[in-house]
Amino acid sequence: MNDQDESRNVDDVRGSSGGFRPVHGVGLGTIVIALVAGWFFNVSPLQILSLLSGGAPTSQTPPAPQSTPTDTNEPQVKFVSQVLRSTEVVWGDVFQGMGRSYQDPRLRLYRDSYPTACGLGQAAAGPFYCPQDRIVYLDLGFFDLMTRQLGAPGQFAHAYVIGHEVGHHVQNLLGILDSVDALRSRSSEAESNALSVKLELQADCFAGVWATRAQKERGWRFEQGDVETAVNAAAQIGDDTLQRKSRGTVVPESFTHGTSEQRVSWLKKGLDTGDLKACDTFGTGHVGPANVMGTTNL
């Protein structure tokens, strides 16, 4: 992707606290507890961290970021910016074909901790998308963690992570996130978890759609083994795999992201088809649950 354009929507706040004050009493052990509890009980790790530190689980309105220009001489930053730009172009074309206007998300590079409109961002929680401020948050250290601890190395594996989070932004613009949140508000815990799984699998599929359409339309090409690295990454972050590694057993009713097999399957479906309509994880014949069909036109 060396000759590809870069996005203008990347904020680098790694040298800024962004007004964040450290949460007293929260160390690495607490963060691990928050992550495990989040996986098992479908509760945001950000909210658990707030509770464990004695705070209330409320959203924070972040200050304007003290952003510095992205350093294109830093290979990882350049790569992230190029991947984001690729998603902007591809999804812009997709939305135009639907008679819609695509609104680009921002991607914010931070280090360790940063306040967001969805709560306190912690690098230990991994990359995430906040629908309230329409920003993808990423600590570049997560790519090292993917390689060294999750067994998921490779540039396209990293690109898949960004594509997945941008997939949540696409869901947000289509009204799918709001619709699912409404359904979850009147669902049992098991039903709510099942809806979360469908959202996450669809974001995997959307990541595949982006990658395949980018190959056909925008010039950059996979190298040998690239697709396999993304498929491996999807397999390594399945709920069953993560639970088996962390506790030795699997609790299917607590799944919020899908099994390794499911994540691989939906990523491949997006890669194989390049078609948004193929990402029908809700089984409705459309891309979302029944009550958003009137707004998606898909």
Q: What is the pLDDT of residue 71?
A: 53
Render pLDDT for 67-96 as a digit per residue (tens, 0 to 9).
Answer: 555 555 688 999 999 999 999 999 999 999
Where is pLDDT greater, at 259 or 298?
259
- Nearest of 238, 21, 52 to residue 151 by alpha carbon: 238
| Residues 6+ away with beta carbon under 8 Å from 43 | 37
Render pLDDT for 260-270 as a digit per residue (tens, 0 to 9).
Answer: 778 888 988 99
Render pLDDT for 177-188 as a digit per residue (tens, 0 to 9).
Answer: 999 999 988 888
In the predicted model, is pLDDT for residue 115 greater than 80? yes
pTM of the model as a whole: 0.74
Q: What mean pLDDT is predicted for residues 120-126?
A: 76
